[in-house]
Amino acid sequence: MIDWAAIKTEYINTGVCYRELAEKNGISRAAVAKHAAAEKWRELRSAPQEKTQSLAQLAEKLIETTGRAIDQLEGNVDTQKLKQLVSSVKELKEIMKALPDSNDNGQADHEALIQAIREAGNAD
């Protein structure tokens, strides 16, 4: 018996092609293509990438907004603004954790924001 759910999952989550799936499971490429078309596997495969891109864009916007807010402090620490900055950094950290391919740049950006907030807090 053919486990179509497992084949579908492998296709969606990896870069494997129909031919490789067919060979691996002892079925024809046409059978794989037929199931894939009926269940729209290609669309499902691109959905996680779109989510990752939108999360990355959100993280980038959050970094920019937080950076502008830090620049606006100009040595005068407003505790309310500082709380908002800290909250933004925490949100950014959660977003970066959610990215499946997060890299060291996200961590470096996060650490740079924390350092800037500390420096702004010590300016008084």
The pLDDT tens digits of the residues spanning 11-58 come to 888 889 999 999 999 999 999 999 999 998 888 887 656 555 666 677
Q: Which two tokens stand for residue 17?
A: 């092609």
- Please give the model's pTM, rounded to 2 decimal places: 0.41
> CA-to-CA distance for 23 and 9, rounded, in angstroms?
16
DSSP secondary structure, 79-107, as one string: HHHHHHHHHHHHHHHHHHHH-TT--HHHH
Cα 7 to Cα 41: distance, rounded to the nearest angstrom: 10
Rounded to whole angstroms, the Cα distance separating 23 from 18 reads: 9
